[in-house]
Amino acid sequence: MLVILGFLIVLGAVFGGFALDDGHLAALYQPYELLMIGGGAFGAFVIANDRKSIQATLKALPTLFHTSKYTRELYLELMSLLYEILAKVRKEGLMALEADIEAPHQSPLFARFPNILADHHLVEFITDYMRLMVSGNMDPYQIENLMDNEIETHHQDGDLPIHAITKLADGMPAFGIIAAVMGVVHTMGSVGLPPAELGKLIAAALVGTFLGILLSYGVVGPLAALLQRKLNESSKMYQCIKVTLIASMNGYSPVLAVEFGRKVISATERPSFNELEAHFKQNKAKA
């Protein structure tokens, strides 16, 4: 919703200001200029990206119109799940988790946290590293390094559509100039027309530059910035899990390990210590 609102503000300010300054909006309607800019930019996008990048971009675009799912409530649920896992390990031993991590969708423990269970990547991240912890006496530093590498890979995969859209935005002003130059060429080839007709052709040529810059900085560029924000939010979830599990492997109690993880959450979504404690008690009562 905010994306649509932002587009309306940009277009309303630009075209509304032009109209209030007694500009003729009809002069800005140049479909062939838009075809040259949009078609050229799309063609360059196809050339510059492989199938993986194009598919990732098409998959990422619909998420721009969704509100962020990384809310305080989701973090509370994540921290509660991690606490329950670590408390079970301390009480019953690592082997007690084997059934839960091998089949999390059939696990009564994971079933109590449906929002986390619905995220396949989060569940896989948790169960993979719990499986490593169950399988043997792993060095916490090796596990931490492996987690960092996986988080970096996740970030690189998420960066594919961001990089593609950013490059697309960077190229649009240049395609606007190309459209303008083509319009000037058309104008120069029509020097025998009356001045009024030549004026229209020159105006159409200048619209190409205007559209290229507007689409770059007012439409496409902000989409890449929003995707970057969403990627950073998703990576923060993995950082929270990593810090919590590493703290547990270093011998801290479940409560302290979860507190370590809570500290890496962004301030706007981070639950307070009292909120977290109350949530633990509420889940314990339900269980």
Predicted local confidence at residue 275, as pLDDT: 81
What pLDDT sits at residue 94? 77
What pLDDT, on a 0 to 100 scale, did the predictor assign at position 287?
A: 61
Helix 221-249 to helix 254-262 angle, to the nearest 10 degrees? 160
Lowest-pLDDT choice from 17-21, 49-53, 137-141, 271-275:
137-141
Instruction: Give the pLDDT of residue 174.
Output: 93
Q: What pLDDT, on the 0 to 100 scale, is given for residue 90?
A: 86
Burial (CB count <10 Å: 0-12, 13-18, 19+), residue 69: middle
To the nearest 10°, report the CA torsion of 180, 182, 186, 191. 60
161, 15 contact by CB (below 8 A):
no
Q: What is the pLDDT of residue 98?
A: 83
Nearest to 186 by CA among 214, 211, 210, 206: 206
Per-residue pLDDT, 65: 87
* DSSP reduced 3-state for 123: helix
Grade residue 10 by pLDDT with cuts at 50, 70 and 90: very high
Q: What is the mean pLDDT of the chain?
A: 88
Per-residue pLDDT of 163-215, as tens digits, reads 999 999 999 999 999 988 888 887 887 777 787 787 788 888 888 899 999 99
State the average pLDDT over residues 157-161.
92
pLDDT tens column, 29-64? 888 888 999 999 999 999 999 999 999 999 999 988
pTM of this prediction exceeds 0.85? no
Alpha helices in 93-190 (DSSP H): 98-102, 108-111, 114-117, 120-135, 140-188
Closest CA to 80 of 115, 132, 129, 118: 115
Measured CA to CA, the distance from residue 153 to residue 148 in angstroms comes to: 9
Cβ–Cβ under 8 Å, residues 235 and 243: no
Proportion of the chain above pLDDT 90, given as a percent: 39
- Rg of the chain (C-alpha set): 27
Residue 2 pLDDT level (bands cut at 50, 70, 90): confident
Mean pLDDT throughout 85-97?
A: 84
d(CA 72, CA 268): 8
CB 13 within 8 A of CB 121: no
Mean pLDDT of 220-231: 93
Percentage with pLDDT > 70 across the chain? 98
Helix (H, G, I), strand (E, B) or coil at 172: helix
Task: Say if residue 228's pLDDT is above 90.
Answer: yes
Task: Return the higher-pLDDT residue of 151 and 140.
Answer: 151
Read off the pLDDT of each residue in 101-108 and give the average, rounded to a whole number.
88
- Give the pLDDT band (50/70/90) at residue 251: confident
Which residue, 221, 230, 223, 220, is CA-closest to 158?
Answer: 230
- Residue 154 φ/ψ, nearest 5 degrees: -60, -40
DSSP 51-91: HHHHHHHHHHGGGGGSPPS--HHHHHHHHHHHHHHHHHHHH
Classify the C-alpha dihedral 69-119-266-157 as positive or negative: negative
